[in-house]
Amino acid sequence: MTETSGSNSGILPDRMIGELFASGALSSRRELDADQIQPASLDLRLGETAYRVRASFLPGRSSVEEKLERLKLHAFSLEEGAVLETGCVYIVPLLESLDLPEEISASANPKSSTGRLDIFTRVITDHTQGFDQIAAGYRGPLYLEISPSTFPVVVRTGSRLSQIRFRRGHTLLSDDELARLHRDETLVATADPNIHNQGIGLSIDLTGDANGLVGYRGKRHTGVVDVDRKAALSVHDFWEPIYNRGNRDIVLDPDEFYILVSREAVHVPPLYAAEMVPFDPLVGEFRVHYAGFFDPGFGHAAAGGLGARGVLEVRSHEVPFILEHGQIIGRLVYERMLEKPRALYGTDLGSNYQAQGLKLSKHFK
């Protein structure tokens, strides 16, 4: 028997995403990868051609294709792989496209590994006024804007940098609902959670591990990262380790990229999905966590995730900013699922970041 949330509103789980393909609401120009459907999202794949453009844009009243005709600098094939350089903006048509029912909307986010490489990605649809938001009933192609910020990257047709979630109705938990769920399920490992504005706060850990390692700062002028190769690169060729030297704070330099970790362990129960708010002006002039989706089962003890903490991808804005140990750095919002996924994040899928502490992307040894 399928375990449901008891509500007609919620995030579509893996089984229902499969049904979207069966009904034609989702389609792809190539056969799906075996692991492409995740517990509460679908990985999106790059198509055959990339366009370098002068600047990021939104199509507004136009289609993306119409805007590309005016703004593209050149086009190149991704079939054999290609390097995307830092500081450049690229648009890539995706293999997947949509013909959504009127009651289903969607949103997109970079995958965890994408965010940990400081690759800024946003999904664009025709005639949209906003990035990463797909209106209910949308019918048309999907495009991905890609802008590597720290490392040049190799991508190819089929590379998966972004993910999409589908939802029906109002799915977000209120403050009262969050408080009750935390009381019953312990969403973050703290006795006094910071719950406000439909989110639950996460603070920064600057004490470090047994060796005093607090985090990493991305190096400049490195080699390329192949986004499809796991455990292929040396950490020290790309990252500068940051250690706790007794002051329990860190200065974020402008235009530098940091990998840090939350003080609290995070738990996403099987009937819920979570998302890290990427920027909250109430906590400081920096952006945290490019890759915002936390799937059902993240940090869930039965799925092998006891003690999993949130890895935070942090980039300061125009001024230096001091973070102190225990400072609230971001917040998680929780949404109800329509039903429990067939596979939970973690042991069911061999997930890369279950039970994680401070951890770089899967590309590093």
DSSP per-residue codes, 305-362: -TT-EEEEEEEE-SS-EEEETT-EEEEEEEEEBSB--SS-SSTTTT-TTTT-SS---T
In 3D space, the residue among 166, 102, 160 whose CA is nearest the CA of residue 133 turns out to be 166
- Per-residue pLDDT, 279: 56
Confidence category of residue 329, pLDDT binned at 50, 70, 90: confident
For the cut 70, the answer to whether the pLDDT of residue 111 exceeds it is yes
Interval 37-44 mean pLDDT: 97
Fold agreement between 10-168 and 175-336: yes
SS3 14: helix
Nearest Cα neighbor of 39 from 296, 301, 356 is 296
CATH of domain 10-168: 2.70.40.10
> Would you call 237 exposed, middle or buried from its count of C-beta atoms within 10 A (0-12, 13-18, 19+)?
exposed
CATH domain 175-336 topology: Deoxyuridine 5'-Triphosphate Nucleotidohydrolase; Chain A (2.70.40)
Which residue do the tokens 């054999």 mark? Answer: 80
The span from the CA of 219 to the CA of 226, in Å, is 16
> Radius of gyration (Cα) for the chain, nearest Å?
20
Q: Which residues contact 364 (CB under 8 A, 6 or more apart)?
A: 231, 233, 234, 235, 238, 239
% of residues, the chain, pLDDT over 70: 91
Q: What are phi and psi of 245, to 5 degrees?
A: -110, 30
Q: What is the mean pLDDT of the chain?
A: 91
Strand, coil or helix: what is 183? helix
- The DSSP secondary structure of 216-281, one letter per residue, reads EEEPSS---EETT-SS-B-GGGTEEEEE--SS-EEEEPBT-EEEEEEEEEB---TTEEEEE-S--T
Closest CA to 124 of 98, 103, 86, 87: 98
Domain boundaries, the chain: 10-168, 175-336
Q: What integer pLDDT is reported at residue 44 of this predicted model? A: 98
How many residues are given for the chain? 365
Tally of helices (H runs) and strands (E runs) in the chain: 4, 26
Tell me the two tokens of residue 289. Answer: 């966590």
How buried is residue 306: exposed, middle or buried, by Cβ count under 10 Å (0-12/13-18/19+)?
A: middle
d(CA 243, CA 248): 10
* pLDDT number for residue 277: 80
Instruction: Judge contact between 326 and 196, C-beta under 8 A.
Output: no
Q: What confidence tier does 37 reach under pLDDT thresholds 50, 70, 90?
A: very high
Helix, strand and coil content of the chain, in percent to the nearest 5, comes to 10, 40, 50
**Paired tokens of 13:** 């789980």
pLDDT band at 258 (very low <50, low <70, confident <90, very high): very high
Assess whether pLDDT exceeds 80 at residue 26: yes
Largest CA distance in the chain: 58
Q: Which of 156-160, 238-242, 249-253, 298-302 has the lowest mean pLDDT?
A: 298-302
- Give the C-alpha separation, 228 to 117, whole Å: 12
Residue 41 corresponds to which tokens in the numbers above?
A: 């999202």
Which two tokens mark 164?
A: 């999409």
pLDDT of residue 245 exceeding 90: no
Residue-wise pLDDT tens digits, 290-309: 657 999 999 887 665 576 88
pTM of this prediction? 0.94
Give the C-alpha separation, 302 to 291, whole Å: 24
The pLDDT tens digits for 194-210 are 998 899 988 899 999 88
How do residues 137-152 score in pLDDT, each as one tens digit? Answer: 999 999 999 999 999 9
